[in-house]
Amino acid sequence: MIKTSRFLGHSPAAFRLARSIVKAAPTGASVLIIGESGTGKEVVARAIHGRSPRRNQPFVAVNCGAISPSLAESELFGHEKGSFTGAVSSTEGCFGRAHMGTLFLDEITEMPLSMQVQLLRVLENGTYHRVGGSEQRKVNVRIIAATNRDPKMAVQAHTFRSDLLYRLAVFPIRVPSLRERKSDIAYLARRFLNELNEQEGTNKVFAPDALYQLENYHWPGNVRELKNTVMRAFILADDEVEVLPMNAEGQPRRLEVKHGLLKIAVGTPLNSAQRAVIMATLEYYGGDKRRTAMALGISPKTLYNRLEEFRKQGYAFQAA
């Protein structure tokens, strides 16, 4: 467990997380990882796979929130040549590629309901069909899913099936936010700096007050934001890595949502305002992306692209 916790930190929360990884890894149980964006849910999933009996088999990751509903079935199960326009050859889906290994389904609560039914069927009997195919294919995969939403709220909003939740959450793991383990910030920052020094053949060190600045920031983007901040400071530094003060002014303003109305403070950056409108509308429609896109006057594809950009940037929406 000591080795597992090394990449997580030294706080009590990090040790609890490491213990969950160690306990879950040797089993074949489905795991549901819950945590804010940027907390390292895929890192946890890979750690579980790496300690499991399937460690030498494939680890296949797919972001359910980035797949167009019309292509979701083909992405997961593959398709036969000529099954639809553009299908010039047969393709193996995620399940086929992950056979005997681990399939990581990130942002599982964003999966369309129609696909949730098919996923449940595969979990129950271990068989599926490619799009346009009639051959029943058997598959042996371990499922690890993740979400940055409360899955029970998604069930209550009728955007996620309760029976699928029960199948996925055999062993639930919650990844704590960086705010909940502030004592790990300096440890992680030093680790990221050491990795950069090793990659670049340098010997840069943190300036005297750099770690203080890092430890006194809210980190809405969690570990991903911390890593990116260290990298930016590293690139700008000659010998000493300096971190500019990151006080409340540098943090995202809280947004007030009441009765379907969103209040945005004057001076909010345009990108932040756009993100707030999209996320508030998505929440208003219970996660229904089609209705959200229609209300915003954009195509579903544009909405998916925006959401993927927000996810990569590590933003978390805050509503009062």
The pLDDT value given to residue 79: 63
The pLDDT value given to residue 86: 59
Q: What is the pLDDT along the chain (320 residues), one digit of tens a residue?
A: 445 555 688 899 999 999 999 999 999 999 999 999 999 999 999 999 999 999 999 999 999 888 877 677 778 887 666 555 555 566 888 888 999 999 999 999 988 888 898 889 899 888 877 776 667 788 899 999 999 989 999 999 899 999 999 999 999 999 999 989 999 999 999 999 999 999 999 999 999 889 988 988 888 889 999 999 999 999 999 999 998 776 544 444 445 666 667 777 665 667 677 888 888 888 888 888 888 888 888 888 888 888 877 765 554 443 33
Residues 6+ apart with CB under 8 A from 276: 255, 262, 264, 268, 317
Residues 6+ apart with CB under 8 A from 253: 264, 265, 268, 272
Hey, what are 129's tokens? Answer: 């069909």
**Would you call 188 helix, strand, or coil by DSSP?**
helix
Q: Residue 257: enclosing H or E segment and its boundaries?
A: strand 256-258
The pLDDT value given to residue 26: 96
- Euclidean distance between CA atoms 53 and 82, whole angstroms: 38
- Euclidean distance between CA atoms 309 and 213, whole angstroms: 27
DSSP character for 255?
B
Hey, what are 220's tokens? Answer: 């809405």
**Would you call 81 helix, strand, or coil by DSSP?**
coil
